[in-house]
Structure 1
């Protein structure tokens, strides 16, 4: 039986201390914000909150009664689901294609994709391209430009290359074509890595707001939740201003602009925190393990 030495125990102790420190640094600020959003601002003394003071849900009620927030949640959810699904389909198909060594010009295409990771045309050419395609002021500007991710494509390509060629050859001998081979054999095996890249894409779509500022700044009906939050931090100066569209704004007179901003911040963060634990096992497996052992 292996017996740890004093140096090993000291190493483990330092690792535990670092992890505890990282946990405190990352979790405690969010815990404070979460408790603040559930507290009556009149009872908050400015100290760290380990639990809500004078529990109330008025901040969240005021936010969910605001039509801009509800529309932002709808747009963010739609772009996250549709954009992530579209990216997974297009990127996985491209990854499968560039694994085919018998494809004419495959070396050029591989270098072409990698080239785009290091060099970009810039913001102005990108805007001109999006405008010429008629996507400025539309929902699809959130989906189509992000349909292909070269980084994710390389991850999927590397994963597919770990599948034994004999598996594909046996399917081709049985009469399967490339489409059937991809849908029935490659995709089921690649579920772990697909879940990993989908998590990347989903978080990116949910947190994105710069594209709104570039292409949809004049279309409030297309503002995602993150852009609504961005505007709220700049524009909310009074509770009356934020609750102007509510039938009875007087019921929220105890709130403060700070409590509204913090509650909206919690709303934007919680969905990712809830979804991530369910995809974590696929995320780790997809990035660190091969799909075939032997």
Structure 2
């Protein structure tokens, strides 16, 4: 069997780079298009854009900032993402550590009971009635408590913890450390790669979630920015008209189109969560790979 020649290797690498570049472009370009559309003059953008914005201006974003309740809803969304992520990370990691201990009575039952939740879904009506009966309607805890323990996160963390050397816990116990002390000072710090991974998952999930807000929150002070902007997306024409009226009160006014409003809303919702990834990226790949080695 002949070995591949140098020319063949070069051709393969070129084809490989071209293919990967096309895939990267196909993934990045839609987001880039939305961005240049949102900062372009609405009338110019409606005539077509390819790679460069036309008539750069930020009137679309100015109009978004003048929407009613936009600031309060943004604060609620940030609080939901931050507090919800912290509660999920702490509860899921602590539960995952507890079910690795043979001393826990009915350890396998509790673990499997949580895992079953990944396969069974009672439906919207039972979920609504349960949340309402628990007093979570028009309650900020609605954003925090239901996602405190997630089966998928428990699997990842439990698998990661089981790969840690048992001698670390044994030496700590000899020195008199209890289970919670071991978890806080040994297990949690050593599990930072997988913790960062589920923190990204949880933060993105909390930020993008709006369905619970839609069904169970009628208080405007508790509504998230996702629901506010979702409602405006369903009324893009009226929003465009309202934005024009708001801008007309200023020195310069531009016509806002429904398409420009849609693109701007998409950017407003997407940009904040993008800042999470750069800080977690170095842990993300390592954590997801190590947490998935064993079943």
Task: Output the TM-score relative to the length of structure 2.
Answer: 0.89
Residue equivalent to 1:237: 237
Residue equivalent to 1:154: 155
Residue equivalent to 2:100: 99
Query: Aligned residues, how many?
Result: 288
Q: CA deviation at 1:253?
A: 4.0
Q: CA deviation at 1:10?
A: 5.3
Q: CA deviation at 1:199?
A: 0.2
Whether contact under 8 Å (2:60, 2:260) holds in the other structure is yes
Superposed counterparts of 1:38-77, under 5 Å: 38-44=39-45, 46-77=47-78
Q: Mind listing any 5+ residue stretches in structure 1 that lack a counterpart?
A: none
Q: CA deviation at 1:247?
A: 9.0
Residue equivalent to 1:191: 192
Q: Mind listing any 5+ residue stretches in structure 2 that lack a counterpart?
A: none
In structure 2, the CA distance between the partners of 1:244 and 1:130, relative to structure 1 (3 Å rule), is: farther
In structure 2, the CA distance between the partners of 1:179 and 1:257, relative to structure 1 (3 Å rule), is: same
Per-residue CA deviation, residues 70-123 of structure 1 (Å, 9 max, x unaligned), is: 222112111100100010111111000001022111122222122221112222
Distance of 1:11 and 1:72 partners within structure 2: 51
Distance of 2:262 and 2:149 partners within structure 1: 34
For the aligned residues, what is the CA RMSD? 2.3
Whether contact under 8 Å (1:240, 1:249) holds in the other structure is no
In structure 2, the CA distance between the partners of 1:280 and 1:4, relative to structure 1 (3 Å rule), is: farther
Distance of 2:192 and 2:55 partners within structure 1: 46
Whether contact under 8 Å (1:195, 1:283) holds in the other structure is yes
Superposed counterparts of 1:206-285, under 5 Å: 206-216=207-217, 218-238=218-238, 239-242=240-243, 248=249, 251-285=252-286
3-state SS, counterpart of residue 229 of structure 2: helix
State which drifts further: 195-204 or 11-20: 11-20
Whether contact under 8 Å (1:229, 1:261) holds in the other structure is no
Residue equivalent to 1:115: 116
In structure 2, the CA distance between the partners of 1:247 and 1:148, relative to structure 1 (3 Å rule), is: farther
3-state SS, counterpart of residue 271 of structure 1: helix
State which drifts further: 76-85 or 265-274: 265-274
Distance of 1:142 and 1:245 partners within structure 2: 33
Q: CA deviation at 1:208?
A: 0.8
Residue equivalent to 1:35: 36
State which drifts further: 92-101 or 266-275: 266-275
Q: CA deviation at 1:68?
A: 2.6
